[in-house]
Amino acid sequence: MTDSKYFTTTKKGEIFELKAELNSDKKEKKKEAVKKVIASMTVGKDVSALFPDVVNCMQTDNLELKKLVYLYLMNYAKSQPDMAIMAVNTFVKDCEDPNPLIRALAVRTMGCIRVDKITEYLCEPLRKCLKDEDPYVRKTAAVCVAKLHDINAQLVEDQGFLDTLKDLISDSNPMVVANAVAALSEIAESHPNSNLLDLNPQTINKLLTALNECTEWGQIFILDCLANYTPRDDRESQSICERVTPRLSHANSAVVLSAVKVLMKFMEMLPKDLDYYGTLLKKLAPPLVTLLSAEPELQYVALRNINLIVQRRPEILKHEMKVFFVKYNDPIYVKLEKLDIMIRLASQANIAQVLAELKEYATEVDVDFVRKAVRAIGRCAIKVEQSAERCVSTLLDLIQTKVNYVVQEAIVVIKDIFRKYPNKYESVIATLCENLDSLDEPEARAAMIWIVGEYAERIDNADELLESFLEGFHDESTQVQLQLLTAIVKLFLKKPTETQELVQQVLSLATQDSDNPDLRDRGYIYWRLLSTDPVAAKEVVLAEKPLISEETDLIEPTLLEELICHIGTLASVYHKPPSAFVEGSRGVQHKRLPGSAGSGDSVDSPDTASAAGVSEAPPAVIPSQGDLLGDLLNLDLTPPTATGPPPAPSSGLQMGAMDLLGGGLDSLMGDESEPLGGDLGGSPALGAGFGAPPAAMPASFNAPVSGGLDDLFDLGGGVGMPMGSYSPPKTVWLPAMKAKGLEISGTFARRAGVIQMEMTLTNKAMSVMTDFAIQFNRNSFGLAPAGPLQILTPLSPNQSIEAALPLSTVGPVMKMEPLTNLQVAVKNNIDVFYFSCQYPISMLFVEDGKMERQVFLATWKDIPNDNESQFQIKDCHLNSDAASNKLQGSNVFTIAKRTVEGQDMLYQSMKLTNGIWVLAELRVQTGNPNYTVSLKCRAPEVSQCVFQSYEAMLKN
Partner 1 sequence: MIHSLFLINHSGDIFLEKHWKSVISRSVCDYFFEAKEKAVEPENVPPVLQTPHHYLISIYRGKLFFLSVIQTEVPPLFVIEFLHRVADTIQDYFGECSEGVIKDNVVTVYELLEEMLDNGFPLATESNVLKEMIRPPTILRSVVNTLTGGSNVGDTLPTGQLSNVPWRRAGVKYTNNEAYFDVIEEIDAILDKSGTTVFAEIQGVIEACVRLTGMPDLTLSFMNPRLLDDVSFHPCVRFKRWEAERVLSFIPPDGNFTLMNYHVSSQNLVAIPVYVKQSISFFETGPCGRLDITIGPKQTMGKTVENMMVTIHMPKAVLSANLTATQGNYTYDIATKVLVWDIGKLNPQKLPNLRGSLSIQAGTPKPEENPSLNIDLKIQQVAISGLKVSRLDMYGEKYKPFKGVKYLTKAGKFQVRT
Distance CA 890, CA 841 (A): 10
Written as one string, the DSSP assignment of 96-116 is T-SSHHHHHHHHHHHHH---H
CA 223, 229, 230, 231: dihedral to nearest 10 degrees? -70
Give Cα separations from 714 to 513, 642, 867, 940 (angstroms).
54, 19, 22, 19
Question: Do residues 939 and 606 lie in contact, with contact meaning Cβ atoms separated by under 8 Å?
Answer: yes
Q: Which span sits near partner 1 by CB under 8 A: 177-185, 309-317, 444-452, 536-544?
A: 177-185
Give Cα separations from 557 to 307, 429, 819 (angstroms).
14, 37, 19
375 is a contact residue toward partner 1 (CB under 8 A) = no
**Least distance from C-beta 199 to partner 1, angstroms?**
19
Question: Do residues 321 and 380 lie in contact, with contact meaning Cβ atoms separated by under 8 Å?
Answer: no
300 is a contact residue toward partner 1 (CB under 8 A) = yes
- Cβ neighbors of 514 (< 8 A, separation 6 or more) are 474, 481, 520, 523
Contact code string over 233-252 relative to partner 1, x by CB under 8 A = -------------x--xxxx
329 is a contact residue toward partner 1 (CB under 8 A) = yes
Distance CA 622, CA 414 (A): 28
48 is a contact residue toward partner 1 (CB under 8 A) = no
2 is a contact residue toward partner 1 (CB under 8 A) = yes
362/739 with CB nearer partner 1? 362
**Least distance from C-beta 476 to partner 1, angstroms?**
28
Distance CA 323, CA 293 (A): 9
Q: Which span sits near partner 1 by CB under 8 A: 46-54, 63-71, 343-351, 518-526?
A: 63-71
297 is a contact residue toward partner 1 (CB under 8 A) = yes
**Least distance from C-beta 324 to partner 1, angstroms?**
9
Binds partner 1 (CB under 8 A): choice among 136, 276, 405, 421: 136
Backbone angles phi, psi at 406, to 5 degrees: -65, -45
253 is a contact residue toward partner 1 (CB under 8 A) = yes
467 is a contact residue toward partner 1 (CB under 8 A) = no
356/658 with CB nearer partner 1? 356
Show contacts with partner 1 in window 844-863 (CB under 8 A).
Answer: none
**Least distance from C-beta 201 to partner 1, angstroms?**
23
Binds partner 1 (CB under 8 A): choice among 86, 123, 298, 542: 298
**Least distance from C-beta 57 to partner 1, angstroms?**
14
Distance CA 867, CA 939 (A): 8
621 is a contact residue toward partner 1 (CB under 8 A) = no
Backbone angles phi, psi at 409, to 5 degrees: -65, -40
Q: What SS3 class is residue 454?
A: helix
Q: Can you list the alpha helix ranges (DSSP code H) found in 576-710?
A: 606-614, 624-634, 650-667, 685-691
| Angle, alpha carbons 419-422-424 (nearest 5°) | 130
Binds partner 1 (CB under 8 A): choice among 89, 170, 194, 363: 363
Q: What SS3 class is residue 829?
A: coil
**Least distance from C-beta 439 to partner 1, angstroms?**
19
**Least distance from C-beta 112 to partner 1, angstroms?**
7
24 is a contact residue toward partner 1 (CB under 8 A) = no
146 is a contact residue toward partner 1 (CB under 8 A) = yes
66/312 with CB nearer partner 1? 66
206 is a contact residue toward partner 1 (CB under 8 A) = no
26/474 with CB nearer partner 1? 26
Distance CA 59, CA 74 (A): 16
582/614 with CB nearer partner 1? 582
29 is a contact residue toward partner 1 (CB under 8 A) = no
* CA nearest to 200, candidates 164, 221, 228, 220: 228
218/453 with CB nearer partner 1? 218
* CA nearest to 587, candidates 573, 595, 577: 577
Question: Do residues 444 and 411 lie in contact, with contact meaning Cβ atoms separated by under 8 Å?
Answer: yes
802 is a contact residue toward partner 1 (CB under 8 A) = no
192 is a contact residue toward partner 1 (CB under 8 A) = no
194 is a contact residue toward partner 1 (CB under 8 A) = no
864 is a contact residue toward partner 1 (CB under 8 A) = no
Q: Would you give the DSSP letter of residue 754?
A: E
812 is a contact residue toward partner 1 (CB under 8 A) = no
**Least distance from C-beta 204 to partner 1, angstroms?**
20
114 is a contact residue toward partner 1 (CB under 8 A) = yes
Q: Would you give the DSSP letter of residue 791?
A: -
38/916 with CB nearer partner 1? 38
278 is a contact residue toward partner 1 (CB under 8 A) = no
60 is a contact residue toward partner 1 (CB under 8 A) = no
Residue 513 CB: number of other CB atoms within 10 A?
11
Question: Do residues 410 and 398 lie in contact, with contact meaning Cβ atoms separated by under 8 Å?
Answer: yes
209 is a contact residue toward partner 1 (CB under 8 A) = no
Show contacts with partner 1 in window 553-592 (CB under 8 A).
Answer: 568-571, 573-574, 578, 581-585
364 is a contact residue toward partner 1 (CB under 8 A) = yes
C-alpha 669, offset from chain centre: 35
* CA nearest to 288, candidates 264, 266, 257: 257
186 is a contact residue toward partner 1 (CB under 8 A) = yes
Distance CA 332, CA 525 (A): 46
Show contacts with partner 1 in window 661-700 (CB under 8 A).
Answer: none
* CA nearest to 125, candidates 110, 115, 143, 139: 110
Residue 736 CB: number of other CB atoms within 10 A?
15
665 burial type by CB count under 10 A (0-12 exposed, 13-18 middle, 19+ buried): middle
Question: Do residues 144 and 118 lie in contact, with contact meaning Cβ atoms separated by under 8 Å?
Answer: no
128/359 with CB nearer partner 1? 359
* CA nearest to 568, candidates 225, 805, 909, 863: 225
38/448 with CB nearer partner 1? 38
Binds partner 1 (CB under 8 A): choice among 89, 279, 400, 401: 401
Q: Which span sits near partner 1 by CB under 8 A: 284-292, 383-391, 472-480, 841-849?
A: 284-292
Binds partner 1 (CB under 8 A): choice among 15, 19, 39, 236: 39
Residue type at 160? Answer: G
**Least distance from C-beta 132 to partner 1, angstroms?**
12
567/761 with CB nearer partner 1? 567
Residue type at 180? Answer: A
912 is a contact residue toward partner 1 (CB under 8 A) = no
Question: Do residues 489 and 469 lie in contact, with contact meaning Cβ atoms separated by under 8 Å?
Answer: no
256 is a contact residue toward partner 1 (CB under 8 A) = yes
Distance CA 157, CA 163 (A): 9
How many residues lie near partner 1 (CB under 8 A)? 106
155 is a contact residue toward partner 1 (CB under 8 A) = no
183/541 with CB nearer partner 1? 183
Contact code string over 216-235 relative to partner 1, x by CB under 8 A = xx--x---x-----------
Q: Where are the beta strands (DSSP E) in 682-817?
A: 731-734, 742-751, 754-763, 773-776, 784-785, 800-808
